[in-house]
Amino acid sequence: MRRVDDEREIRALVEQWCDAVCEGDAELVVARHTPDIVMFDVPEPVSSRGLAAYRKTWSLFFEHNPQGPARFRVVDLVVIVGADVAFAYGLLSINASEARCRLTLGLRKIDGVWWFAHEHHSMPVLLS
């Protein structure tokens, strides 16, 4: 597969993931994540390791963010693709808020299929 096709596939995967979050579909949210997924998040726990721990973090998000098409959207997504590793980054809009969360995703290509292996969310901190 050419790199441009890989990039297109990753962009579609990110879009499907965002749609699943917007719809509150926990099973689709965790789909296409490696069993050893590592996530660094803004709220506690700041680090989640493994699919079960990753899945658990979404209940808090769903509880505090209303379902709908603007619940979780990535803007300005950049995708950089290697032969079997890729990363993507952009700004995350939650509930169409003006505030933006930073998002970085690490992906692995396993048996010709892209999987999320790492996820990192962060919020800017204003220093006074």
Tell me the pTM: 0.91
Q: Is residue 51 part of a domain?
A: yes
Q: What is the CATH number of the domain that holds 94?
A: 3.10.450.50
**pLDDT given for residue 21 in this prediction:** 95
Domain that holds residue 89: 3-122
Residue 3 predicted with pLDDT over 80: no
Residue 27 predicted with pLDDT over 90: yes
Q: Is residue 18 part of a domain?
A: yes
**pLDDT given for residue 78 in this prediction:** 97
* Average pLDDT of the residues in 13-21: 96
Q: Is residue 128 part of a domain?
A: no
Amino acid at 12: A
Mean pLDDT for the chain overall:
92
Cβ-Cβ contacts under 8 Å for 115 (sequence gap 6 or more): 32, 33, 34, 107, 108, 109
Read out DSSP for the chain?
A: --HHHHHHHHHHHHHHHHHHHHHT-HHHHHTTEEEEEEEE-SSSSSEEESHHHHHHHHHHHHHHS--STTSSEEEEEEEEE-SSEEEEEEEEESTT-S-EEEEEEEEEEETTEEEEEEEEEE------
Q: Is residue 127 part of a domain?
A: no
**pLDDT given for residue 100 in this prediction:** 87
Residue 1 predicted with pLDDT over 70: no
Residue 39 predicted with pLDDT over 80: yes
Q: Is residue 46 part of a domain?
A: yes
